[in-house]
């Protein structure tokens, strides 16, 4: 049974301009309530796929790292571990680690989720509410 928050996030997501054929598997959706817990779990990797200038003008979810959507493939597949640690101040995730993607409204996060799954990161998930939901509920 899906929680009310996940259903709300899915409804908001589907009402966006993405086609229904690009639906996200509900097992891969993270709710706002889930995110409140995840930000305190350092073993989970929260990835903001917005561009750096967006983050500097709006803020970010605590404990997240910024890997813009156009860099996700390269960073996850071929960036050396030492470089990843130097740039993001944490160990490079393995394919079994849980990755949670978000952006402004959920569209780019969905693309990032698809890319990560194709690269073998099978525990990847999407916070569909993304920054819009997070920032509105943090007030």
What residues are annotated to the active site? 103
79's CB contacts (< 8 A; 6+ apart) are 87, 92
Beta bridge partners of 29: 126
User: What span, in angstroms and rounded, lies between the C-alpha atoms of 26 and 7?
Assistant: 9
Q: How far is CA 72 from CA 11, 19, 26, 49, 84, in A?
A: 26, 22, 22, 8, 12
């Amino acid at each position: 049974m899906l929680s009310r928050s996940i259903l709300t996030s899915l409804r908001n997501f589907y009402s966006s301009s993405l086609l229904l054929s690009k639906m996200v598997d509900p097992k891969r959706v993270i709710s706002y309530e889930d995110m409140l817990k995840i930000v305190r779990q350092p073993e989970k990797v929260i990835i903001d796929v917005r561009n750096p200038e967006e983050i500097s003008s709006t803020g970010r979810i605590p404990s997240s790292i910024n890997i813009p959507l156009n860099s996700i493939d390269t960073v996850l597949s071929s960036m050396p571990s030492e470089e990843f640690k130097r740039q993001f101040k944490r160990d490079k995730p393995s394919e079994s680690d849980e990755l949670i993607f978000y952006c402004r409204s959920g569209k780019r996060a969905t693309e990032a989720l698809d890319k990560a799954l194709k690269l073998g990161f099978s525990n990847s998930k999407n916070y569909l509410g993304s920054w819009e939901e997070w920032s509105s509920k943090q007030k």
